[in-house]
């Protein structure tokens, strides 16, 4: 009886250890990504498995994917068709009008803008994002620092008004 109990304890310890080592015990860990010719984003897990990033309705593609420093979160810009009118005689291609943040195989937060995203990056170890938005031409009109969990704006900076704050350094605007 005691041997059976000892066997169960050892089996439980090995199972817990293997879950922790595989990265699935406390959520997925992402190691890399690529965008294929069909504009799908493939995300590689530490296990070697690939998952496809979800695409929103009308989304044309993905741009600027990045993995958080701890590997637990990945984000990307969502590309949508350029809004056209009857007077438009050119196709500018898709524009980045959404930022998706993905963890444990689901989108946990989406940031939007009435204009376009110029750039974005993880900040504070992956708990925050900084991004620059503005009109489709002429450069970004603002940069924001936001908390990922709540979506709350933590700071705002207008490019060209002063030296950029630390959190906005490295953004293209």
Is the whole-model pTM more than 0.75? yes
pLDDT score at 28: 93
Give CA–CA dist 110/138, Å, rounded. 25
Question: Which domains does the chain possess?
Answer: 57-168 (2.130.10.10)
128-167: per-residue pLDDT in tens?
A: 999 999 998 888 899 999 999 999 999 999 998 889 999 9
48-87: per-residue pLDDT in tens?
A: 999 999 999 999 999 999 999 999 999 999 999 987 666 6
- Nearby residues of 157 by Cβ (< 8 Å), 6 or more positions away: 142, 143, 144, 164, 165, 168
């Amino acid at each position: 009886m005691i041997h059976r109990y000892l066997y169960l304890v050892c089996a439980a310890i090995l199972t817990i250890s293997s879950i922790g080592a595989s990265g699935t015990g406390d959520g997925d860990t992402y190691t890399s990504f690529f965008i294929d010719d069909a504009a799908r984003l493939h995300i590689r897990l530490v296990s070697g498995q690939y998952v496809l990033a979800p695409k929103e309705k009308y989304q044309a593609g993905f741009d600027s994917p990045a993995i958080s420093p701890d590997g637990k979160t990945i984000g990307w810009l969502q590309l949508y068709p350029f809004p056209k009118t009857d007077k438009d005689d050119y196709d500018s291609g898709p524009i980045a009008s959404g930022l998706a943040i993905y963890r444990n195989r689901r989108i946990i937060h989406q940031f939007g803008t009435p204009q376009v995203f110029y750039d974005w990056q993880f900040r504070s170890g992956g708990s925050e994002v900084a991004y620059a938005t503005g009109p489709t031409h002429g450069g970004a009109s603002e940069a924001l620092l936001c908390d990922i969990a709540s979506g709350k704006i933590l700071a705002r900076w207008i490019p060209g008004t002063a030296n950029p704050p630390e959190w906005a350094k490295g953004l293209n605007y």
